[in-house]
Amino acid sequence: MKNWHWIVGLLLITTISLLIEIPVNTWLTSATLSLVLGATAMVYMAASCLLASRWRVIENIFGGLDRVYDAHKWLGVWALVFATYHFVFKANLDAWNSVPIWELPKYWTRLVRQLSYVALGLIVLLALNRNIPYNVWRWWHKLSGLLFLIVIVHWLSFKSPITLTSPSGVWLVSLCGLGVIAAVYKLTLYPFVARAGEYRVTAVTSKNGTLHLTLTPVHKGFAFKPGQFAFLAMKQNGLREPHPFTIASANDESGQIEFLIRPLGDYTKKLTEQVKIGMLADIYAPYGRFKRQPQAEREIWIGAGVGISPFVSWLKDPGAKNLDKATLVYCFNPARAFPPAEHLLGMAQARGVEFVSNDKGLDVLAETMRQAVKKTSPDKVQISFCGPKGLLVNVREIMRALNIPQTNLHIELFEFR
């Protein structure tokens, strides 16, 4: 599912269920719009809690946990936009015969209303503010579920035409109930029931500002597919917060797992400085649905910086087929390249993959894609991309110029926060 599917779909369901309960002659009023947007904001918050649960069924619906987190972010943004209108304009009319579901003293009703808006604003601020240290951001963000409870109390205590047995009441109770269950699960049960394994750091290499980390299972490793990612939580003070990294190795009998990590944030900088051989870690995995397109007549893999990680995993996959139809384009800064282009060239040649070293900019990338189109029709060229958003925009523009369908582009979202 796409982000707009959730945003528009939840809005439509909430709107229809509410309009059923109020007189038709009041539909085109600011009060009705305020009621609809306020209820939808709460639905978006409930859906965000569901998406944050990391339940497999949710990941399957979206086609990858990276998409789930992207939708989670935009649901929060639109919830704040809708809640702002709801906060400003009164969501009640005399014609509605409104009553509260749970009657509280006026002081507490008014206080909860104000706190619910502050709570939602705080949640979105925490989600979008990159200047907050990761360990602080994570623990504050884990409280989002508790803040959601304040919003639910606001709904129950203010006067509205919604009853618990009405269509809108059943809809809101169902979504909010699932959201609360998901929030409680993520806050308390997830570390105990999620698929995880204990690993030991067996090799640490740092070169050109990139950390190459190798870990071996203490007991038994987990199976994963090339291109997936994992949450790494070091059993070390200051490094315990699970952080997502793409797996840069193939699944084999040893269970060994590798990561390529660029120290761009406070957590990754601290990890690069402190990690040592022998340290233990919990790894929660596997996640993600970044898959090859081996049925394509031509595949182009575009990896930029540490976005090369999933393609390294694809190269190492012993079961990979039709690699002779693939071209790997490695976009990198020569001063920060790791692994080195020469190393990747050797790996690619060993698997029969064409390799293009690109430290010159867009011209090399565009020419590679142009040559692929010359060898086959544009609709038969499949492109897999992992890298910064700015480069992704350029890739889309080149595809349009070469008449390669946008549906032939497969991406792994590069950033969660």
CATH number of the domain residue 239 falls in: 2.40.30.10
pTM reported for the whole predicted model: 0.78
**Buried/exposed code over 228-239 (b: 16+ C-beta within 10 A; e: otherwise):** bbbbbbbebeeb
60 and 152 share a domain?
yes
Last residue of a domain, one of 287, 313, 332: 287
For residue 292, tell me if it sits in a domain.
no
Q: How far apart are CA 235 and CA 275, in angstroms?
A: 10
40 and 137 share a domain?
yes
pLDDT tens column, 84-123: 898 889 898 989 988 899 988 988 888 888 888 887 777 7
pLDDT tens column, 192-205: 887 778 999 999 99
Total residue length of the chain: 417
188 and 314 share a domain?
no
For residue 13, tell me if it sits in a domain.
yes
Q: Which domain holds residue 252?
A: 196-287
Q: How far apart are CA 72 and CA 53, in angstroms?
A: 11
252 and 330 share a domain?
no
Which residue carries 């390294």 as its tokens? 312
Last residue of a domain, one of 287, 313, 345: 287
For the sheet with 210-217, list strands across it. Answer: 243-246, 229-234, 280-287, 196-207, 210-217, 257-261
CA neighbor of 382 nearest in space, from 301, 290, 289, 288: 301
Which pLDDT belongs to residue 137?
66
Residues in contact with 346: Cβ distance below 8 Å, sequence separation at least 6, in sequence order: none
Q: How far apart are CA 164 and CA 157, in angstroms?
A: 12
For residue 98, tell me if it sits in a domain.
yes
28 and 135 share a domain?
yes
For the cut 80, the answer to whether the pLDDT of residue 16 exceeds it is yes
For residue 123, tell me if it sits in a domain.
yes
Q: How far apart are CA 135 and CA 353, in angstroms?
A: 40
pLDDT tens column, 368-414: 999 999 989 999 999 999 998 899 999 999 999 999 999 999 998 75
Q: How far apart are CA 128 and CA 137, in angstroms?
A: 10
**Count of domains in the chain?**
3
CA neighbor of 6 nearest in space, from 54, 34, 46, 65: 46
103 and 45 share a domain?
yes
Q: Give 3-state DSSP helix, strand, coil % of the chain, rounded to 5.
A: 50, 20, 30
Assign residue 380 the CATH number of its domain: 3.40.50.80
212 and 356 share a domain?
no
pLDDT tens column, 388-401: 889 999 999 999 99
For residue 253, tell me if it sits in a domain.
yes
For residue 416, tell me if it sits in a domain.
no
Rounded to the nearest integer, the mean pLDDT of the chain is: 88
346 and 234 share a domain?
no
Last residue of a domain, one of 193, 225, 248: 193
For residue 293, tell me if it sits in a domain.
no
21 and 165 share a domain?
yes
153 and 251 share a domain?
no
149 and 172 share a domain?
yes
* Residues pairing with 244 in the sheet: 231
For residue 213, tell me if it sits in a domain.
yes
162 and 70 share a domain?
yes
Which pLDDT belongs to residue 129?
64
- Would you list the DSSP string of 170-205? HHHHHHHHHHHHHHHIIIIIHHHHS-EEEEEEEEEE
